[in-house]
Amino acid sequence: MARPNFNFQKRQKELARQQKRLEKLARKRERGNAPDSAVDEGAAAPEEAGETPAADAPTDD
């Protein structure tokens, strides 16, 4: 009777886990490219540059 090859089983399990992780990252990237996130990125860009949008924008009071 043949003995089980535990190294092969372990490698197959690791490959399946890695494939699942890559698919999850791809789904997150797709979700990140949605039009709603483009609005958020535009609002966050001045803050990353060290500027505050509230200080530059005139107030309507």
> Token digits for 16?
């399946």
**Number of helices followed by number of strands (H, E) in the chain:** 3, 0
pLDDT tens, position by position, 34-45? 765 445 555 555
* Dist. CA 55–CA 51, nearest whole Å: 8
Amino acid occupying residue 6: F
Amino acid occupying residue 20: K
- Catalogue the E-assigned strands of 1-61: none
pLDDT tens, position by position, 1-46? 788 899 999 999 999 999 999 999 999 999 988 765 445 555 555 5
